[in-house]
Structure 1
């Protein structure tokens, strides 16, 4: 690599002459016009030599030379000082300033080149001596560390940290031991991360280490970005902080037992031969500790394997003891049957259920314990897999003769696949009482089903009778009501007080009877599913005004004020005829139960999907305990009130609203009035 020379002179012509001369002889030239700029260039470019003019503005050669020599990195930097012949002799001694040599202007070109080469050679020799001395000191420190410690891990950690601190720009130094099969290795020490210790590395992902193991020679990769050795694993090096790798083998008895790996980040990534030689020397020194580490690591792995095997065996013994305890104390009867049908193990619960001793049951053949029908059923269920459950178990009921409790029914469950030593685990539970109760429940269920069928039949008869009766009553009741109204209107004042009272009572009774018959007819239609609902987009305000037009005179006659608030939304999905019926029922009740001077108001509201219609009054209100049953059939509020109805109106209102997909509810406070609200879907 060409040496770099810094020319410092305020004379442009002199810089040009010197530059041309040096370039012709293979030097790289850097220029500065004064001492201050020269110091800055030295810090940035690190030249191999400086040609310095003595007389310059800003900072002269003497001050520049003294400034450079004060900095440790420039103590061996060759400085050739140029002096003019007209300079006063003896006033400045270049050697006392720290210069390596000086030349007078005008100078001889060959003389300048010879002196410059000599200075560079001298500098390289001094640096090499210092490097060698530093290497020997580091080697001595490492040797003393090995002598001071018997712990191999500590020795190896000292070695890698010493190398990382000794060689410039080392990102990581690590030592790894290689398995005997060469498939993997274990990091024993790393200069920057103690957590990597004992980390297993797959050598398939480290082609540089595998090549050193195979060749037994050091490997220097100066640019991992372009080296084909890393083509297969380059995607694994995305977050790397290095661009050069040095891998050195660690030998023991002519075998590679480990490697030392140095990763460096350098502008010129090649490590010098002296650095490689020093690292190999350290790697050879590390062979002893690495051998011991490999031996101890092998012992540790074997000891760990033995400890693990011992722990596994102890765990298995504990588990076996637990299973035996669980087996013997299980709430179900358990037996273990071998492939020959012989019982090998039996728990206490099984002995209690069959009334036999352990000696009688353990070792006996299953076929000798069952009578022929029970044995035949067991064989058929086992072969057919009857009742097979998830997990490969077969379940069936079996009736057996026990010694102390007679014939009992047992639920038997057995694993289809054998377990240890070809054993089949059979569990059985006494279900005699349970099966008896199940049979009684089935019988009760059958009786209930028959009773339910008969009730549905009777309900159908009741509905048919109610429908027929209401149809038959509707015509004569309507006629009677019409005649009563005709008589009251036509006779007028011709009747005396008693006659008028009797006629009014007959009219009101017939009116309630007509209302009852109509409600019962509507109720029977709903129950029979014959009530027709013609849903469509309609104007709720028009529907409300129609109803209020018919009921307005009644409210006025009772001394009430009927108000309608403007709605936020007029269109909704509903059947006009049935919703009119709901409004008539709610308004009629409000008028009926509101004293004179009160008010009945219709309000509207909406939410995201529904229109809310409310009928409010200022009547006496409804007790809170009656609100939950208010919409049930034949429920009446104020049974002592002479104006009570049939008790079907609100029930029919609920059925109509629910058939529209809506809801209806009531809110009230005694003495403050009531509010009935129902919802309709928005159009």
Structure 2
């Protein structure tokens, strides 16, 4: 709404037959809003005194903007306004405010047009003052210039503070009321309006050059012989981040005179002191009466590029430092974890071996003399010991793989032989589970792998398939060649893997829900992935819940080199 409104559109040199600003505002109003705006227009036509006009507008907006605050600010001096009227009973009239504390006023000074911020959270100009506005309950802001004694002079501003989310209708009503006031005040003599508002009378006769700076389309300064800034237009003030000269202040502009070219130079590079530090500019100079100079400035393109690059480099360096610190901490935590797991597994391995030995001795020597219940207890203890042994062996394998201490003997491995060995070795388990286990016919391939570790990988995958496949299902192992790689696929018709777990299925201690009745600690697939990577391959899985899974192991073919 109201995009592209300029100072010329808001303060037209001649009043048009149909104002485009008022037309756009009315188009955003409901029927009730149009009626209220019409009542205000009629009321403004019947009033002639400035105070009465302002009172009508403030009363209209106080009714239209629920819980908001409407104030009229009259310019007191450069960058300073006095509160002339307000809809809030507790607001102090004649209070003087500075523009550098109110970004919305700085924007009005800079553009000469309204400033609209329906949501302060997304208004970049209000970033530094957002917390203060929020503490005051302000959710949106609008500032409308309504009168300027002369073109380019400091305007009187109608400011609306919204204390809730700003509906489009309320914003349109505020803009329409402000512009109706602009039209009404334009029909009164500027000197009379200024007098009734307590402003200095408009200057007549020859104008001082400093009073004409706002007519210039570029940032402009008036400086004395010591480079002290005597005046600046809105564009220059914006370039200097809103800072203004104050009594006793240090010179605002530095090195405006070219050091090696003297007064004859008309264009040179310079540095100007701004609020956030010196900035590099291009400057043009022209002498004025009274040992003053007019200086036109614009940001140096090279300085803009360097500032941008410096900001990017600084931000990138900071992020890299944070990333390096995080990586260092993660590496240290991983090292401590692996060391702990390895030490703990080693400490448990010896007593567990002794425990298994005692259990086997009891079963052999006393088995015949034990009751059925005692034999059941002894068998359960043996099963638990074997399960704990597999867990410890898995932890040791993981620790060795993580630290690169697992020995691998890479050489030619027959795909047919390794698959047949795994299938034949696990067939008794498949028969007991009533699952059909088979190796699909395939050509003989020589893989580059460690035979023992490849056997471990395939055994893990086939055992998983047998665990999660119900009776009557099947598990199949197939091998095919893809370029210079071999792909082994272990397919089952089991329960499948839920989509939420599938991306994490190769992580440590991850198990499919509902698998609590099966043995395992959730380390098998984690070991499979790391072993495949260690042998120069990779693994992945495709799965459909309740339809089964396909695990793939890809390894390089043997080329005669280890």
- TM-score per shorter chain, which class? 0.3 to 0.5
Of Structure 1 and Structure 2, which has the larger fraction of its residues in helix?
A: 1
TM-score by length of 1: 0.39
| Larger gyration radius, structure 1 or structure 2 | 1
TM-score by length of 2: 0.47
Structure scoring higher RCO (CA < 8 A, sep ≥ 6) equals 2
